[in-house]
């Protein structure tokens, strides 16, 4: 890995063991970083970069962080932004009227649709600007706790199964 000219640019940053090992702390942190980065506005390349920076900064599993950002895709991003907007409205009660619906998707005029879509997003203003980071932090926290609890539950299950197997072997002989 050190010999790769692209990786060598980062020096020893990418050589941290927690970036590559699969254990409870690094995986749960990677899931949290990926869930947060998945709501960063921009292309998947931007989300991958943000997830990688979080993984390096917090020394959590980098491949998991990058892979988890894929929950945010063209099918899920619309509902996620609507949820973020609704969360943001909780911080500004009664200040905003119902937003206009998003523009209808049109393949034949894709460039115009993209422009109209971003204009619509900007019209959402403060509620979206507050709701998006709030949702991202909430998803990251929930993902972190879920992975930690699921991992712990699996370990307890494995211990009990091992104990039963050892007890069964002991009673046979």
Domain of 11, in residue numbers: 5-172
Q: Please identify which residue in the block is written with the tokens 């709501």.
A: 39
CA-closest candidate to residue 86, choices 34, 41, 31, 138: 138
The pLDDT value given to residue 96: 63
List of the chain residues with pLDDT < 50: none
CA-closest candidate to residue 82, choices 40, 49, 144, 124: 124
Q: How far apart are the first and last CA of the chain?
A: 50
How would you write 18-44 as a 3-class SS string? HHCCCCHHHHHHHHHHHHHHCCCCCCH
> Considering the chain, what is the average pLDDT of its residues?
84
The pLDDT value given to residue 43: 83
How many independent structural domains does the chain possess?
1
CA-closest candidate to residue 134, choices 47, 46, 39, 43: 39
The pLDDT value given to residue 119: 75
């Amino acid at each position: 890995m050190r010999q790769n000219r692209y990786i060598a640019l980062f020096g020893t940053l990418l050589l941290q063991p927690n970036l590559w090992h699969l254990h409870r702390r690094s995986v749960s942190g990677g899931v949290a970083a990926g869930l947060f980065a998945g709501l960063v506005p921009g292309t998947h390349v931007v989300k991958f970069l943000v997830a990688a920076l979080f993984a390096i900064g917090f020394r959590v599993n980098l491949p998991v962080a990058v892979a988890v950002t894929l929950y945010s895709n063209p099918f899920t991003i619309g509902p996620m932004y609507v949820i973020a907007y609704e969360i943001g409205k909780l911080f500004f009660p009664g200040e905003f009227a119902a937003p206009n619906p998003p523009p209808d998707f049109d393949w034949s005029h894709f460039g115009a649709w993209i422009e109209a879509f971003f204009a619509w997003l900007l019209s959402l203003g403060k509620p979206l600007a507050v709701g998006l980071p709030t949702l991202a932090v909430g998803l990251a926290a929930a993902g972190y706790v879920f992975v930690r609890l699921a991992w712990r539950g699996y370990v307890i299950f494995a211990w009990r199964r091992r104990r039963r197997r050892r007890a069964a072997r002991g009673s046979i002989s």
